[in-house]
C-alpha cells in the first residue's frame, strides 16, 4: 500500500461529492457538415471509415456520445452505404479514451488543457481517487494520471461497450471500435473488463449482433499524450464542425 498521511484519510471521510450537472445534447456544438467519399462498386460488402468531428462536450455523457456517433451512421445509411450484416465500420484511435470525461460535471468542459481536466476530475472525485491511489499497484511514472484512468476504468469500459454494441445491433454492422486506454483489459464472460496491469491502448471488435471479441490490437507505446500536451490530438487535422466518411466497396 502506498503511504498516505492520516490527515488525508480523514479528509476522505468528510468528503461529499456535489450533485453533478451533466452535459446535455443541446450543450454540444452542432455538426455543420459530413463529407462523403466512395470508391468501388458494391457487390459483396463495404468497409466504412468514419472520422467524426468531436469536441470535449461530445463525451459529456454516454447518451450524448452515442447520439454524436449516430449522426454518421444515419448519414451513411441514408446514402445507401450500409448493407445489413455485410458492412465493417472502422473508427479512429483513442475515440474511446476520452470517455474518461463522461459523467463529469459540465463545468469540467470549461477547461482547455489536459492538466486542468485531470485536476478537475480529481477535485470532483477526491475520495475515489485517494482510495485507488492507496490500494492499486502503479505501473507508470506519472502515478497521478495513471490513478485517474484506474479510477474511471470500469465506467469507461462499460460505456464504451454499451455504445458500440448498441450501434452494431441497431445498424446490423460489424465495428472495429476506435481504441480506448484501460488497465490491461480483457473480455470476460462477454464483457470488457479492466484487470490488474498497466494502462494499454486497445481496440475491440463488435459483431453485428452486438457481441464483443477479445481485443484485436494493442499500442502500448502510444500513451505519452495522456500525460501532457494539447487536448484531443487525434482530431487536430479536421476542419471546424466537419466530419468525414470514406467508403470502400467490394
Helix (H), strand (E), coil (C) string for the chain: CCCCCHHHHHHHHHCCCCCCCCCCHHHCCCCCEEEEEEECCCCCCEEEEEECCCCHHHHCCHHHHHHHHHHHHHHHHHCCCCCCCCEEEECCCCCCHHHHHCCCCHHHHHCCCHHHHHHHHHHHCHHHHHHHHHHCCCCCCCHHHHHHHHHHHHHHHHHHHHHHHHHHHHHCCEEEEEEEEEECCEEECCEEECCCCCEEEEEEEECCCCCECCCCEECCCCCHHHCCCCCCHHHCCCCCCEEEEEEEEC
Question: Between 1 and 204, where is the model more confident?
Answer: 204
Does the pLDDT value for residue 125 go beyond 70? yes
Looking at residue 204, its pLDDT comes to 93
Q: Quick one: CA torsion of 59, 175, 40, 68, rounded to 10 degrees?
A: -20
Q: Going by C-beta distance under 8 Å and a sequence separation of 6 or more, which residues neighbour residue 191?
A: 157, 161, 212
- Predicted confidence (pLDDT) per residue in 40-69, tens digit: 776 778 899 999 988 888 898 999 999 999
Looking at residue 117, its pLDDT comes to 83
Q: How confident is the model at residue 225 (pLDDT cuts 50, 70, 90)?
A: low
Question: Between 192 and 136, where is the model more confident?
Answer: 192
Looking at residue 114, its pLDDT comes to 77
Pairing label, strands 174-183, 199-206? antiparallel
Strand partners, 47: 88, 248
Q: How confident is the model at residue 153 (pLDDT cuts 50, 70, 90)?
A: very high
Does the pLDDT value for residue 126 go beyond 60? yes
Q: How confident is the model at residue 236 (pLDDT cuts 50, 70, 90)?
A: very low
Q: How confident is the model at residue 112 (pLDDT cuts 50, 70, 90)?
A: confident
Q: Taking the chain, what is the end-to-end CA distance rounded to the nearest angstrom?
A: 56
By CB atoms closer than 10 A (0-12, 13-18, 19+), residue 240 is exposed
Interval 114-135 mean pLDDT: 86
Cα 48 vs. chain centroid, distance in angstroms?
19
Looking at residue 19, its pLDDT comes to 55
Does the pLDDT value for residue 31 go beyond 90? no
Lowest mean pLDDT among 45-49, 59-63, 99-103, 246-250: 246-250
Question: Between 230 and 196, where is the model more confident?
Answer: 196
CB 250 within 8 A of CB 38: no
* C-alpha distance from residue 30 to each of 128, 174, 235 (Å): 34, 27, 16
Looking at residue 224, its pLDDT comes to 59
Looking at residue 194, its pLDDT comes to 96
What integer best gives the mean pLDDT of the chain? 81
Lowest mean pLDDT among 26-35, 87-96, 136-145, 164-173: 26-35
State which of 14-18, 162-166, 216-220, 239-243 shows the largest mean pLDDT: 162-166
Interval 156-167 mean pLDDT: 97
Give the span between the Cα atoms of 154 and 128, in whole angstroms. Answer: 13
Give the span between the Cα atoms of 95 and 234, in whole angstroms. Answer: 8
Q: Going by C-beta distance under 8 Å and a sequence separation of 6 or more, which residues neighbour residue 116?
A: none
CA atoms within 13 A on the CB side of 134: 13
Interval 216-232 mean pLDDT: 55
- Predicted confidence (pLDDT) per residue in 63-92, tens digit: 999 999 999 999 999 998 898 888 999 998
Query: Cell numbers of 145, please?
Result: 494520471
Amino acid at each position: 500500500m502506498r503511504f498516505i498521511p492520516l490527515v488525508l484519510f480523514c479528509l476522505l471521510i468528510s468528503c461529499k461529492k456535489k450533485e453533478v450537472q451533466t452535459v446535455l445534447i443541446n450543450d454540444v456544438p452542432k455538426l455543420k457538415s459530413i463529407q462523403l467519399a466512395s470508391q468501388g462498386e458494391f457487390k459483396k460488402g463495404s468497409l466504412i471509415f468514419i472520422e467524426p468531428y468531436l469536441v470535449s462536450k461530445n463525451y459529456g455523457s454516454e447518451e450524448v456520445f452515442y447520439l454524436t456517433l449516430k449522426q454518421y451512421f444515419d448519414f451513411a445509411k441514408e446514402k445507401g452505404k450500409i448493407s445489413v450484416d455485410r458492412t465493417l465500420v472502422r473508427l479512429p484511435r483513442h475515440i474511446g479514451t476520452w470517455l474518461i470525461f463522461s459523467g463529469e460535471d459540465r463545468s469540467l468542459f470549461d477547461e482547455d488543457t489536459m492538466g486542468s481536466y485531470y485536476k478537475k476530475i480529481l477535485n470532483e472525485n477526491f475520495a475515489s481517487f485517494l482510495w485507488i491511489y492507496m490500494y492499486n499497484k502503479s505501473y507508470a511514472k506519472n502515478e497521478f494520471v495513471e490513478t485517474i484512468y484506474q479510477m474511471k476504468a470500469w465506467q469507461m469500459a462499460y460505456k464504451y461497450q454499451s455504445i458500440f454494441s448498441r450501434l452494431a445491433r441497431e445498424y446490423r454492422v460489424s465495428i472495429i471500435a476506435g481504441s480506448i486506454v484501460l488497465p490491461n483489459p480483457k473480455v470476460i464472460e462477454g464483457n470488457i473488463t479492466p484487470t490488474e496491469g498497466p494502462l494499454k491502448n486497445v481496440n475491440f471488435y463488435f459483431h453485428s449482433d452486438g457481441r464483443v471479441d477479445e481485443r484485436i490490437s494493442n499500442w502500448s507505446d502510444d500513451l505519452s499524450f495522456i500525460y501532457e500536451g494539447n487536448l484531443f490530438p487525434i482530431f487536430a487535422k479536421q476542419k471546424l464542425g466537419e466530419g468525414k466518411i470514406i467508403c470502400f466497396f467490394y
